[in-house]
């Protein structure tokens, strides 16, 4: 009987604690972000964007297994560390051109899954100043593969103001951190468009993470990312969003001529890096709009038998469509 009472009291105490926590959060729910009114100024678009494509994020179920699989494909994979809060940890594939691939595993997935299904994150995070945390949380149950991508800015404050002036709705910059083994805590800020198909934008790591020659040397000859393809169910809207974010116009075709069969291209980094957007319905049934295919450029090291373009097995890439193009 005493054990029963003790167990009952414990349950009541835990329920009371949960109610207190929820009520305390209710008192500080951020205001929903309203759509940014289009500026009365004519948006200024440039020939080359100030933003640089930096990395793509691939969700994996088991980081250790994914690391082994990518190493078997000829990539050098480096463990990154745990992000603030301990919900995720990652491993990185760095390239010589400064781009990289982030492999990320979610820990304590049951908790995020429960909060999503109960709608709690929709109330407290979605479309608020903390929207970035919702963006990173809603993918917890997506199939393995691409979930996000990132651009780099050297001036977060200036970039934030510019995209607002162009009429893009964004959540304000949020500070993030990652603890690396036997290394200082790394901090940076991220700005997130409300439209999740668009890449988020971050500023440089502080302090900078040292990347050695060994870390960017890959057995398969990989040198960097040359193209990211994004799938969207609303092509014209997405193209318009990319133009406002990047501050440049699409190369081909012009927006007025868009059809569902078009592949719209934005050229970054002085004509070397392409972001391409295409209409997708088939490959995105279980995911939000976003990255669907990546091409890595590489040197063949004189291996004449190597195909000029090769598609890696999705079993080994954990669901990501990745091509390697030898030059």
Domain boundaries, the chain: 31-327
Dihedrals φ, ψ of 213, to 5°? -60, -40
The secondary element (H helix, E strand) that includes residue 254 is: none
Task: Give, in words, the CATH class of 31-327.
Answer: alpha beta
Dihedrals φ, ψ of 136, to 5°? -80, -20
The sheet carrying 222-232 orders its strands as 263-268, 273-279, 222-232, 290-298, 322-326, 309-311
Predicted TM-score of the model (pTM): 0.84
Label the pairing between strands 222-232 and 290-298: antiparallel
Query: pLDDT tens digits, the chain, 327 residues: what are they?
Result: 555 444 545 455 445 444 444 434 443 456 666 655 444 344 555 557 889 999 999 999 999 999 999 999 999 999 998 886 778 999 999 999 999 999 999 988 888 889 999 999 999 999 888 898 899 999 998 999 999 999 999 999 999 999 999 999 999 999 988 877 778 888 999 999 999 999 999 999 999 999 999 999 999 999 999 999 999 988 889 999 999 999 998 875 544 455 555 678 888 865 567 888 888 765 556 788 999 999 999 998 766 666 789 999 999 999 999 999 998
| Residue 268: per-residue pLDDT | 84
């Amino acid at each position: 009987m005493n054990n029963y009472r003790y167990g009952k009291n414990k349950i009541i105490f835990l329920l009371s604690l949960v109610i207190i926590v929820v009520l305390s959060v209710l008192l500080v729910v951020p205001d929903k972000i309203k759509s940014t009114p289009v500026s009365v100024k004519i948006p200024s678009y440039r020939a080359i964007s100030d933003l640089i494509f930096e990395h793509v994020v691939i969700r994996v179920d088991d980081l250790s297994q994914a690391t082994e699989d990518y190493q078997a494909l000829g990539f050098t994979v480096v463990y990154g560390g745990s992000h603030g809060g301990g919900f995720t940890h990652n491993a990185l594939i760095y390239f010589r051109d400064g781009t990289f691939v982030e492999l990320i595993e979610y820990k304590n997935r049951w908790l995020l899954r429960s909060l999503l299904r109960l709608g709690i994150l929709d109330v407290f995070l979605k479309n608020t100043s903390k929207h970035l945390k919702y963006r990173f949380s809603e993918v917890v149950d997506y199939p393995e593969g691409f979930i996000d991508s990132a651009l780099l800015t050297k001036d977060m404050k200036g970039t934030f103001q510019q995209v607002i002036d162009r009429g893009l709705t964004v959540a304000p910059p949020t500070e993030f951190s990652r603890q690396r083994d036997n290394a200082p805590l790394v901090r940076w800020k991220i700005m997130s468009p409300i439209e999740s198909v668009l890449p988020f934008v971050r500023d440089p790591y502080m302090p900078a993470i040292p990347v050695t020659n060994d870390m960017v040397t890959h057995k398969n000859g990989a040198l960097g990312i040359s193209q990211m393809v994004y799938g969207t169910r609303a092509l014209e809207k997405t193209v318009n969003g990319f133009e406002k974010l990047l501050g440049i116009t699409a190369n081909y075709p012009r927006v007025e001529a868009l059809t569902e069969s078009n592949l719209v291209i934005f050229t970054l980094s002085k004509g070397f890096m392409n972001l391409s957007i295409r209409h997708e319905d088939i490959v995105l049934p279980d995911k939000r709009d976003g990255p669907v295919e990546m091409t890595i450029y590489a040197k063949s090291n004189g291996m004449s038998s190597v195909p000029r373009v090769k598609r890696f097995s999705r079993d080994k890439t954990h669901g990501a469509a990745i091509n390697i193009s030898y030059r």
